[in-house]
Amino acid sequence: MKTKSGDAAKLLSLLFMIFCISCAAATAPKTQGGAAPPANPTFGKEITLYSNEMCEYYIDGAFVAKGKTVRVRVSSKPHNIVAKAPGYRPKERYIQPPYDNSAPIDFTFMMGERVYAAESRDRFLNYATLAGEMADKMAPKIPDNALVVVTGFIMTVEEKRVSLSSRFEGELVNNLSGLGKRLVERERLDAILKEKALTQTGHFDEEQSEKIGKLVGGDILVTGSFEDHKEEQLVRINVRVIDLKTGALLFATSGDVERSGDIVELLFR
């Protein structure tokens, strides 16, 4: 009888365990498609993100909030946070535990970091590509068989020729030639410039460019200038097409290139 009583007790204990497991399974969070159950809102650590500009914040590639100062919860593992503000390049921060919410994670954007026309352009063109686009636009304005002179690109403030001048002029010459335009040979033009000492600082402006164009027998002058916009981190290139016989302005355009390392070097070398 003792053996039967012991077996009965074990059976009752086993049935009670099965009952408890069934109850636990019935009340557990259900998942769909293998996804993890929704995170408990109290899980993780709260952190504060701060910016002086209205931002979109992304954590590990996923959008989490929009605003200047926001509070979000993160899990106790390292995270990559990106703040995107209109008109600026995104700022990125890599954070890792332990997290201290008493010190906000700072995403301050400075004026000098602004990207000109960032909302309408994903990136700036390089000066060679810009020269090609400008050549395409000005070519229809240049009469057939006209002899074209490309020269006189200067800094608008210092009134001097810079290394970027010859590089950009060369790109325009190559592109216009490819479009079937007649151009004054560079060697002939350089000889005149050297003779008149017009490559020196302070002795090269649009009036002088027109004189040079006429000296080499040109019909059309393509000239222009560079504007250095440090705050907006860009260099603006202005181009003008002038009829040397009448003085009429046939075409004018401008474009921006990013004030990057190589451009800065060409401007001040």
Q: pLDDT tens-digit profile of 180-198? A: 999 988 777 777 666 665 5
- Residue 233 is predicted with a pLDDT of 77
β pairing state of 91-95 and 79-84: antiparallel
Residue 254 one-letter amino acid: S
Find where tokens 């059976």 sit.
11
Higher pLDDT, 268 or 225: 225
- Residue 218 is predicted with a pLDDT of 87
pTM of the model: 0.51
Q: Where are the alpha helices (DSSP H) in the chain?
A: 2-27, 127-138, 163-178, 186-195, 206-215, 261-267
| Pick among 3.40.50, 2.60.40, 2.30.30, 3.10.590: CATH of 45-113 | 2.60.40
- Residue 14 is predicted with a pLDDT of 64
- For the chain, what are the domain ranges? 45-113, 127-267
Where does 127-267 sit in CATH, by number? 3.40.50.10610
Nearest C-alpha neighbor of 211 from the set 170, 145, 152, 157: 152
pLDDT(83) > 80? yes
Q: Are 252 and 223 in contact (CB under 8 A)?
A: no
Point out the least confidently predicted range of 75-84, 182-191, 199-208.
199-208
pLDDT(168) > 80? yes
Cβ count within 10 A of residue 104: 15
Higher pLDDT, 231 or 19: 231
Percent of the chain with pLDDT over 90: 20
**130 SS3 class:** helix
pLDDT(215) > 50? yes
CA quadruple 196, 200, 206, 212: dihedral, nearest 10: 20
